[in-house]
Structure 1
Amino acid sequence: MTFTKEEQEKLEYSGYRFVGEYGHAAAKICHWTKKSMVNEGVCYKEQFYGVKSHRCLQMSPAVPFCSQKCSFCWRDLSQTRVEWEGEYDNPKTIIEGAIKAQNNLLCGFGGNKKTDEKKLEESKKPTNAAISLAGEPTLYPEIDELLAEFKRQNFTTFLVSNGMYWEKLGSLECEPSQLYISLDAPNEKVYKDLCNPQINNAWSNLNKTLELMNSFDTNTAIRITSVKGKNMINTKEYGELINKANPKYVEVKAYMFVGSSRKRLSLDNMPSFKEVCDFAEKIADETSREITKHSEISRVVLLE
């Protein structure tokens, strides 16, 4: 098992369900999946991209592993391993386990009078995989086959990466439906201070990934997690990096003061929706893009 028993129990208490034999993959019900089930709102991904919140499977094949220890990450980073360790489950096992875990977590909605019965039935067969729950998914040795297996099972896939492993991303035979790259700093100094990379050449690797993005046939997106007082600066430099990558979408999203990030940052680091909008407007000016959609409750703005 990759996590200690205590570490795994702590994550399970917060809603994770580990799948497979080796304890590196997990699923967790998203807040917006729950909201959608009782028709109290949907995730901004449904508003922006049409992904149905009640049919979205939030999961990761690499929960314990990441090459960054970002200040704004909500996880307890003392648990994070920088490189892959040990054996691993195959993609079919992970997907089967994740779907089963999600169904088990959602079964309680059957006793809720507010539940939309049609959505509850549809939720049993998720159609999108948000491969973004925790950890760096491209560290999973069979990430290409995982994407291919999801595709064979008629899923769309949203893969979120920190961009450290440009060679792996560049050699994917099965591209995700949408590739997200996190760009959380305008330059190397801010990046090192905020994202705390645990490997050499991290900033160089991220830039190589940005240069690769335009070669993907799939939808591409850059996501900026905006941390007030830390990285909402130097929009000209952000613009240069974004223009180099030339993604289809840019998401500018607020850091949220939740989880273990509260031990590293303060409430003052969480920007208001207006501050996110103002920051996004400046980036739009630098990239000749415009704000096309937004979600105030999620404090996120979409540039195209």
Structure 2
Amino acid sequence: MTLTEIQIKALEKKGYRFAGDLKHAAAKVCHWTKKSLLDEGVCYKEKFYGIESHRCLQMSPSIPFCHQKCSFCWRDISITKTEWDEDFDEPKVIIDDCIDAQRNLLCGFFGNSLANKKKLKESQEPKNAAISLAGEPMLYPRINDLISEFIRRDFTTFLVTNGMTPSKLENLEKEPTQLYISLDAPNKEVYNEVCQPQISGGWERLNKSLNLLSSFDCRKVLRTTCVKDYNMKNPKEYANIIKRSNPDFIEIKAYMYVGSSRDRLVLENMPSLNDVQIFAESIAKLCDREIVNSASESRVVLLA
């Protein structure tokens, strides 16, 4: 077990619920799942892509594993390792336990008179897996089988990767419904400052993954987390990367001053929606894209 009992308890206090015996996978109910159950709003992914927030399972098979220590990450990056050199739980066990954990975490809503009863009933059978809670999912040795098992259960899958494992990406046997690659810098210098790779050749690995993107048949998205005074610059370089990788969509999203990121950044690093829109417009003009949607509550703009 990579995580100590103290680390596990600390994460459980934050709402994580671990799956399997080896405690490397976990689920956590998303803020927007709760909002949706109370009819107080939905995640921008529902607005942009049609998934149902109240039936979304936010999880990761690799909580303590990541190649980067991104300055803007709201997770506790002090606990992460860059290589998987130990045993692992099976995909079926992970999925079963994550679904059970989500059901247990939502049970309090059955006593809430404000909860939407129809949505609450449906939430007990989640249908979308957001494989993005924490860590780097591609480091899980059975990532192919995890995606396949979700597909077998008729889930849609949103897989988020940092692009550090291009060879694994190239050899995915089953494609997710939507593949995200994080693009948080326009060049190597900014990448090293903002993403703080813990392995050699991070920028080169990312670009190999970006070059693979057009070979996928699934929906492909680049996501840029904008940190004011750090990576909201060089729109021409971002545009050139977008042209080369040719995703279906680009999400330009504000860094949010929450979680452990507050130990590394300041409130002033969180851009306003207007800041994000201006930056997105500057990129869009340079790569023949346009803004097609936005979500003010999440400070995110969608290019297509």
Q: Which structure 1 segments of 5+ residues have no match?
A: none
Q: Which structure 2 segments of 5+ residues have no match?
A: none
Correspondence 1:155-166 to 2 at 5 A: 155-166=155-166
Structure 1 residue 66 corresponds to structure 2 residue 73: no
Q: Deviations over 1:160-207 (max 9, x none)?
A: 000000010111110000000000000000000010000111100000
- Give the TM-score, by structure 2 length: 0.99
Q: Distance in 2 between matches of 1:85 and 1:69?
A: 19
Deviation of 1:77 (Å): 1.5
Look up the match of 2:226: 226
Q: Distance in 2 between matches of 1:231 and 1:262?
A: 17
Look up the match of 2:100: 100
Q: Deviations over 1:75-102 (max 9, x none)?
A: 2211111111311001000000000000
Q: Distance in 2 between matches of 1:33 and 1:69?
A: 27
Which runs of at least 4 in structure 1 moved beyond 6 Å after TM superposition? none
Deviation of 1:13 (Å): 0.1
Correspondence 1:61-210 to 2 at 5 A: 61-210=61-210
Q: Distance in 2 between matches of 1:78 and 1:232?
A: 26
Q: Distance in 2 between matches of 1:193 and 1:172?
A: 30
Q: Distance in 1 between matches of 2:63 and 2:199?
A: 18
Q: Deviations over 1:101-147 (max 9, x none)?
A: 00000010000000001001000100000000000000000001100
User: Which one-letter code corresponds to 1:82 in the other structure?
Assistant: T
- What is the number of residues matched between the two proteins? 304
User: Which one-letter code corresponds to 1:62 in the other structure?
Assistant: S
User: Which one-letter code corresponds to 1:300 in the other structure?
Assistant: V
Deviation of 1:2 (Å): 2.1
Look up the match of 2:214: 214
- Give the TM-score, by structure 1 length: 0.99
Q: Distance in 1 between matches of 2:76 and 2:213?
A: 30
